[in-house]
Copies of this chain bind each other. A is one copy, B any other.
Amino acid sequence: MFSLTVCDHIMIAHSFSGAEFGPAQRLHGATFAVEAEFRAPKLDHLNLLIDIGLARDELRRILAIVDYRNLDEVPAFAGRNTTTEFMAHYVFTELAAACRAGTLGEGGKAVSGIKVLLRESPLAWAAYEGEVG
């Protein structure tokens, strides 16, 4: 299995609901360093898994919707805790849809799996991985 990973990052504010969160119930924020890994069983005739430029542009387009925002005010996340693991799943869903829609070219249509990892600090990160197609 081949994989190709591209990186980006976002800087967001949010708060959490639930006593389990302790001080993180207060409005605070995070830099999420994002790693988007695309998997496929083979490469194309150019020896590419996916067009790396298209992958970076699509990842940026998806992240731009939430970058420099208070996630508590993003309608799509209303009533949800935007934990790191939840946001990893959100980015996964958007990237998987882009692959299926052809936004990432023929390479994207051949992607069989995606893993999205978000580093919230030097000591903690979360990820979601799943099949595509």
* Chain B, Cβ-Cβ closest to A105: B20
Interface on chain A toward B: helix, strand, loop, or mixed SS?
A: mixed
B24 & A126 in contact (Cβ 8 Å cutoff): no
Contact with A2, one of B2, B5, B52, B127 (Cβ below 8 angstroms): B127
* A9 interfacial by beta-carbon distance below 8 Å: yes
- A110 adjacent to chain B (CB < 8 Å): no
Total residues of chain A contacting the partner, CB 8 A: 60
Q: A53-B22, A124-B5, A127-B2 are in contact. Are A28 and B11 (CB under 8 A)?
A: yes
Choose among B4, B6, B46, B122 the residue that contacts A33 (Cβ–Cβ < 8 A).
B122
Check B83–A48 contact: CB distance below 8 A. yes
Contact A80 B47 (CB under 8 A): yes
Q: Give Cα A29 to B12, complex, Å.
A: 4
A5: nearest residue on chain B (CB-CB)?
B125
Query: Considering the chains assembled together, what is the distance between the CA atoms of A38 and B44 in angstroms?
Result: 27
Quick one: which of B27, B30, B69 contacts A31, CB cutoff 8 A?
Answer: B30
A58 interface residue (CB < 8 Å to B): no
Q: Which residues of B contact A89 (CB under 8 A)?
A: 2, 43
